[in-house]
Homo-oligomer: A and B are copies of this chain.
Amino acid sequence: MTPLKNDTFLRALQRQPVDHTPLWLMRQAGRYLPEYCATRARAGSFLSLCKTPSLATEVTLQPLARYDLDAAILFSDILTVPDAMGLGLYFAEGEGPKFERPLRQEWEIRDLQAPDPHDHLGYVMDAVSEIRRALDGSVPLIGFSGSPFTLSCYMVEGEGSDTYARVKTLMYSRPDLMHHILDVTTRAVIDYLNAQIEAGAQAVMVFDSWGGMLSQAAYLEFSLPYMARIMAGLTRERDGRTVPRIVFTKGGGLWLDRIADCGADAVGLDWTIEIGEARQRVGDRVALQGNMDPSILLTTPEAVATEARRILASYGHGNGHVFNLGHGISQFTPPENVAVLVETVRAESRQYHAS
A62 within 8 A of B: no
Q: Which of chain B's residues have a CB closer than 8 A to the CB of A310?
A: 217
Stretch of A14-22, A34-42, A137-145, A292-300 contacting B (4+ beta carbons < 8 Å): A292-300
Q: Which of chain B's residues have a CB closer than 8 A to the CB of A251?
A: 251, 272
Q: Which of chain B's residues have a CB closer than 8 A to the CB of A339?
A: none
B330 touches A168 (CB 8 A): no
A165 within 8 A of B: yes
Bits for A257-299, please: 1 = Cβ < 8 Å to B, else 0: 0000000000000011110010000000000000101011011
A67 within 8 A of B: no
Q: Which residue of B lies closest to A273 (CB)?
A: B254
Interface of chain A, main secondary structure:
helix
B168 touches A293 (CB 8 A): yes
B216 touches A273 (CB 8 A): yes
**A-B residue pairs in contact (CB < 8 Å), sample of 19:** A163-B295, A163-B330, A165-B298, A165-B330, A168-B295, A168-B296, A173-B300, A173-B303, A214-B293, A215-B271, A216-B272, A217-B274, A217-B310, A218-B293, A251-B272, A253-B254, A254-B254, A254-B272, A254-B273
Question: What residues of chain A have their CB less than 8 Å away from a CB belonging to chain B?
Answer: 163-165, 168-169, 172-173, 212-219, 251, 253-254, 271-274, 277, 291, 293, 295-296, 298-300, 302-303, 306-307, 310, 330, 332
